[in-house]
Structure 1
Amino acid sequence: MKKIGFLSFGHWSPSPRSGTRSAGDALLQSIDLAVAAEELGADGAYFRVHHFARQLGSPFPLLAAVGAKTSTIEIGTAVIDMRYENPLYMAEDAGAADLIAGGRLQLGISRGSPEQVVDGWRYFGYRPAEGQTDADMARGHAEVFMNVLKGEGFAEPNPRPMFPNPPGLLRLEPHSEGLRERIWWGAASNATAVWAAEMGMNLQSSTLKFDESGKPFHVQQAEQIRVYREAWKAAGHERTPRVSVSRSIFALVDERDHAYFGGDEDSDKFGYIEPEKRAVFGRSYAAEPDALVEQLKGDEAIAEADTLLLTVPNQLGVEYNAHVIEAILKHVAPAMGWR
């Protein structure tokens, strides 16, 4: 069995060819797609977070709205860039959104990826400490966030408060019990996957990672997952961690599918997302269901993960993206043993 959800980047463009022409369209259509995905039996609705871009940005209003409109589907991010975040304010927002959703939040956080502007986090008021990198700063913010989510008091109460306080040091409110176990780290390397395991976070592995061996993407990603699980076991955590991978997968079942995604075979690509950091980008899958199943059987990382996030072309509209999700659930998942 495998949980299957969708991942939307929430792109919008004023182009007449786009079905998502404004930020409002992107937000409202994201809610509608989550509702449709739940009705189809999908397990998760996840959203990417980018700043200074025509994409989904601040996630918590959207997560809270989706939580209020749905009842069973998991609601998450993949990922929130922690370089931009005040971890205490984020803990309050996350706690509120999780309570609205009835404990269904699955928050993916990370160091983030290259952004639209140079050092965009500086405009949000954050700078790495002396001798640290922006990646160090992101991990530091994540550590504070994880500590606050324990729900333990840490703030000295005012001796003359406006309202009566409970005894002892005060914690942030609202606190959502269990949310801390539903935090995921988006790791681009084996080393950060190990760090996530030591921190007690679940693992999100995306459609790219830093190239550490020259092997095919799915093989490197499967190795990363195994390294993560070994580190989790060594850390002595009591619960079983979750691991997700993201893929672009399209079952070609009608003329629209063939028009949009039929054609040339895709393959892994190697390139640079940062100077001197070579990355490998995973292939997309698009084929008629029987052929698609055979292709997916060879993906080692999908086999290792317990959760699969389907990246969706959100600008093609809610109805078509619901069709994309339904095609995987109906024609592919049973044949793969995921359902």
Structure 2
Amino acid sequence: MKKIGFLSFGHWTPSPQSQTRSAGDTLLQSIDLAVAAEELGADGAYFRVHHFARQLASPFPLLAAVGARTSKIEIGTGVIDMRYENPLYMAEDAGAADLISKGRLQLGISRGSPEQVIDGWRYFGYEPEEGKTDADMGRRHAEVFLDVLRGQGFAKPNPRPMFPNPPGMLRLEPHSEGLRERIWWGAGSNATAIWAAQKGMNLQSSTLKDDETGEAFHIQQAKQIRAYREAWKEAGHDREPCVSVSRSIFALVDDRDRAYFGRGGKEEDSIGFIDEKTRAIFGKSYAAEPDVLIEELRKDEAIAEADTLLLTVPNQLGVEYNAHVIEAILKHVAPALGWR
């Protein structure tokens, strides 16, 4: 069995060709798609976070709204860039969203990737410590966030407070028990996957990673997952970790699918640079008739290693079509592969 969810970047553009023409469209359609995905039997609704872009940004109002409109589906991010975050304020927001959803939050975080503006986190008031990088700062914010999610008191109470305090040091409220174990780290390299395991975070591995061996993307990603699981075992954590991978997968089952995705595209891995120094490998997309798609996906070693598969969806094609994309995988592909 494998959990299957969707991952939406929440793109919007005022183009007449788009069904998602404003930020309001993106937010409301994201909620509607999560509701539709739950009705179809999908396991997760995940949303990407980008700043300074015509995409989804501040995630917690959306996560809370999805939590209020649904009852079973897991709700998450993939990922929040921790360079931009106040980890204490974020812990309060996350606790509230998790309580609204009754413990369904699956929060993906990361040190971040190149954004729309240069050093965008500076506009949010953050600066790396002397001798540290922005990546160091993101990981430090993550460590503080993880620490306060434990729910331990750390703040000295006012002897004359406005409201009565419980005894002892005070923690952040609202606190949601168990959320600490539902934090995922988006790792771009083997080393950061190992670091995530040591910190007791679940692993999210996307459609790109550092090109560390020159092998096919899915092989490199599978090796990353195995290294993560070995590090988790060595760390001695008392629970089993969760691992997700993301893929663009389209089953061609009707004329719309063939019109949108049947002409070919990104059928091979590609190489690029996500900054001036980091050579990255980008995984291929899958689009084929279900029987062909099933055989292609059998060969993907990283999907086989993961317990969760996130389907990246073309959100600008609208809620109805994206629900169809998800249903086609659940109905025509997942059972043959033993995922359902």
Shared fold per TM-score greater than 0.5:
yes
* Partner SS for 1:124: coil
What TM-score do you get using the length of structure 1 for normalisation? Answer: 1.00
Identify the residue that residue 212 of structure 2 maps to in structure 1.
Answer: 212
Asked whether 1:99 is paired with 2:99, we answer yes
1:82 aligns with 2:79: no
* Aligned-pair CA distance for 1:276: 1.9
The whole-number CA distance in structure 2 between the counterparts of 1:103 and 1:203 is 19
Q: Give the match's secondary structure for 1:12.
A: coil
Residue deviations 1:296-324 (CA, integer Å, cap 9, x gap):
00000000000000000000000000000
CA-CA distance at 1:263 after TM superposition: 1.8
- CA drift of 1:264 comes to 2.4
Q: How far is 1:144 from its partner?
A: 0.1
1-structure distance, mates of 2:148, 2:111: 19
Partner of 1:10: 10
Query: For the residues of structure 2 that align with 1:273 and 1:146, how far apart are their CA atoms?
Result: 27
How far apart, CA to CA, are the structure 2 residues paired with 1:111 and 1:157? 32
Q: Structure 2: how far apart are the matches of 1:264 and 1:190?
A: 31
The residue correspondences of 1:57-76 to structure 2 (distance < 5 A) are: 57-76=57-76
Please show how residues 182-221 of structure 1 align to structure 2 within 5 Å.
182-221=182-221
Mind listing any 5+ residue stretches in structure 2 that lack a counterpart? none
Residue type matched to 2:35 in 1? V
Match of 1:234 in 2: 234
Could you say which residue in structure 2 is the equivalent of 1:330?
331
- Give the secondary structure class of the aligned counterpart of 1:161: coil
CA contact (8 A) 2:264 2:287 kept: no
1:244 to partner: Cα distance? 0.0
Structure 2 match to 1:111: 111
Tell me the number of residue pairs that the alignment of Structure 1 and Structure 2 aligns: 339
Q: Deviations over 1:166-213 (max 9, x none)?
A: 000000000000000000000000000000000000000000000000
- Deviation readout 1:98-148 (Å, 9 max, x if unpaired): 000000000000011100000000000000000000000000000000000
**Structure 1 runs of 4+ with >4 Å offset:** none
Counterpart secondary structure, 2:158: coil
2:289 maps to 288
Partner of 1:50: 50
Name the residue aligned to 1:33. Answer: 33
Q: C-alpha deviations, 1:17-66, integer Å up to 9, x for none?
A: 00000000000000000000000000000000000000000000000000
**Matched residues in 2 for 1:137 and 1:221: separation?**
25
Q: Give unmatched runs, 5+ long, in structure 1.
A: none
Q: Distance in 1 between matches of 2:117 and 2:279?
A: 21
Q: Deviations over 1:229-266 (max 9, x none)?
A: 00000000010000000000000000000000002261
What amino acid is the match of 2:284?
R
1:171 paired residue number? 171
- Tell me, in whole angstroms, the C-alpha distance in 1 between the residues paired with 2:166 and 2:234: 38
Aligned partner of residue 108 in structure 1, secondary structure: strand
Distance, in Å, in 2 between the alignment partners of 1:99 and 1:276 is 41
The answer for the alignment partner of 1:270 in structure 2 is 271
SS in 2 for 1:42: coil
Name 1:310's counterpart in structure 2. Answer: 311
Aligned to 1:76, what secondary structure does the other structure show? Answer: strand
In the alignment, the residues of structure 2 paired with residue 127 and residue 298 of structure 1 have an alpha-carbon distance, to the nearest angstrom, of 44
SS at match of 1:274: coil
The 5 Å alignment of 1:118-137 reads 118-137=118-137
Query: Which residue in the other structure is 1:147 paired with?
Result: 147
Distance 1:9 1:163 in 2: 42
CA–CA distance in structure 2, aligned partners of residues 136 and 112 of structure 1: 11
Letter in 1 for 2:297: L
Secondary structure at the aligned position of 2:45 is classed as strand
Identity %: 83
Residue type of the partner of 2:270? K
